[in-house]
Amino acid sequence: MRALDLLSGEAFEEHVAVRFRSLGYRVKLTPNGSDFGADLVLEKAGARTVVQAKRWKKDVGVKAVQEVVAAKAHYRAQHALVVTNSRFTAQAIQLARSNGVELWDRDRLARELTGAAVEADSATNSSPANPVCPRCSAPMFERHGPRGRFWGCSRFPECRGTVPA
């Protein structure tokens, strides 16, 4: 979890996307700044889920829940989820319950990521669907460059670790 705390907000969203892809979801990252309240749109078995991903140091409040509720309607989704590396305020929990929004706090996220590690190759704690950086062990994300696809470290530019795709 410490590695997640060091990610940028955008890298955290990409990390969450990688996890859902490994669970068999089709994942679309929404454009920054014009996402209508959803960072990710997931699809699996004909159901759509909108996800608000918050990599924060403080507790996540009602605004994140309000945003994902609006996104659920905008994207015509059946489910809504807010994922954070932090915790939720009491008001956010109450609002989520009354609107059918699922919340993944730090503890739930850690359990979900532990599931990813169990599925991964035990020698390297990575898998083809979710590799870790060979230099710093941070999550890696699929990137596209002038020479094609590759995996790049989520801590870029601090770490420049890459792996061929």
Look at residue 2 and tell me whether its pLDDT is greater than 50: yes
pLDDT of 31 reads 87
Same-domain check for residues 135 and 106? no
47-54 and 40-44 beta bridge pairing = antiparallel
Whether residue 36 is found in the same domain as residue 14: yes
Count of structural domains within the chain: 2
Distance CA 150, CA 18 (A): 14
Q: What is the pTM of this model?
A: 0.69
51 and 97 assigned to the same domain: yes
pLDDT tens figures, 75-118: 999 999 999 999 999 999 999 999 999 999 988 888 877 664 33
φ, ψ (nearest 5 deg) of residue 142: -70, 130
Kindly state whether residues 119 and 146 are assigned to the same domain: no
Residues 21 and 129: beta-carbon distance below 8 Å: yes
Q: Do both 91 and 146 map to the same domain?
A: no
Bridge partners for 52 per DSSP: 82
User: Following DSSP, what letter does each residue of 91-156 receive, concatenated?
Assistant: HHHHHHHHHTEEEE-HHHHHHHHHHHHHHSBTTTTBBTTB-B-TTT--BEEEEEETTEEEEEETTT
